[in-house]
Structures are given as C-alpha cells and as structure tokens.
Amino acid sequence: MTPATSPAIEQSQLLFDKISRFDFGKVFGRYIKDSGVSPQLAAETLLELKRWFTLCALHPEKTYATGGQVDELWHTFILFTKDYARFCHDLTGGFIHHVPEVASGDIEAQIRSAEKMRDKVRLLEADYLTYFGALPPEHLWPRSPEANSFDNAFLFLKALSRTPLQA
C-alpha cells in the first residue's frame, strides 16, 4: 500500500469532502467584503481553511497554528456563531475553539509565546505535508522562524497577526 492510498490519507480525503459540502457562501461573501481580497484569493484561502479543519478533525489532540489570511477567514467564520457551532458539531461532534497565543509580559514571555507558535506551525507543516503532499502555500500561511531567534520570533508574531494582502 502506498502512502497516497493509506487509510489515514483516505480518511483525510473523506473529511475534506465532508467539510467541502458545508455551505460557506455567507462566510465567503463577508470575508471578501471585509478584507477587500479578490474572489480568487478568497477561494484559495477557503481551500486552506478547509485543509486546516481537516487536520483539526483528524487530530483533535493537536493544536495547529493558524495565521495570516487563513486565520482572518476563520475569524470571519466564527462571527456566524450558529453556523460555526453547527459546522463544528457536524464535523467533530464538539467544538473547534479559538485559543490565540498571546504575547504579553516581559521579553522572555514574548519569546516563549513565539516559540510555542513556532512549534505549532512546524506541527502544521509536518502534518500538512503528510496529508496534502506539500507545504502550506507561503502566501497564505506564516512560516516558522528559527528557534531561539529574538528578531525572528517577533517577526513571526507580527506575521501571524498581519492583515490579508490586498489583491
């Protein structure tokens, strides 16, 4: 059996298909209106959000990073609380909570926060590669900085909170 036809890959495809059947129309329209991105970029971002939800459903014990445009679209989805709650329940039987990493306090606390996020991004990158055969698109997802890098840690936190690119 090849990795492309493994039970885990097949399960991820079934979950992705289930997610794709959800009507994201209201969320999609609101995201375009609020962010000012093109419909094409919004469609790419929605594909990535669906992939992120696939990973979350496959591995509820893991905490994957979000950031950049994917996070912005997720925030838009969360605004539609009834739809979001129904989506989560239908997908996982529970709720996919938003638990942001907060960089506050002294410099050491901020660096620890950035390092935790770096680890979450690396986890996302590894599992994304396993299930989707490539790394997440760099123009939609932040990349993890080198460990113990003061400058990179702060640039990373800034990248996680950036607003979507105008297209």
Q: Please answer whether residues 44 and 137 qualify as being in contact, where contact means their C-beta atoms are separated by less than 8 angstroms.
A: yes
pLDDT score of 146: 55
The string of pLDDT tens digits covering residues 38-96 is 999 999 999 999 999 999 999 999 999 988 899 999 999 999 999 999 999 999 999 99
The string of pLDDT tens digits covering residues 94-144 is 999 988 766 667 888 878 887 888 889 899 999 999 999 999 998 898 776
User: Exposed, middle or buried by CB within 10 Å (0-12, 13-18, 19+), for 3?
Assistant: exposed
Model's pTM, two decimal places? 0.83
pLDDT score of 151: 52
Q: What is the CA radius of gyration of the chain?
A: 16
Question: What values do phi and psi take at 114, rounded to 5?
Answer: -65, -40
Domain boundaries, the chain: 3-160
The string of pLDDT tens digits covering residues 9-36 is 999 999 999 999 999 999 999 999 999 9
- Residue 156: pLDDT over 80: no
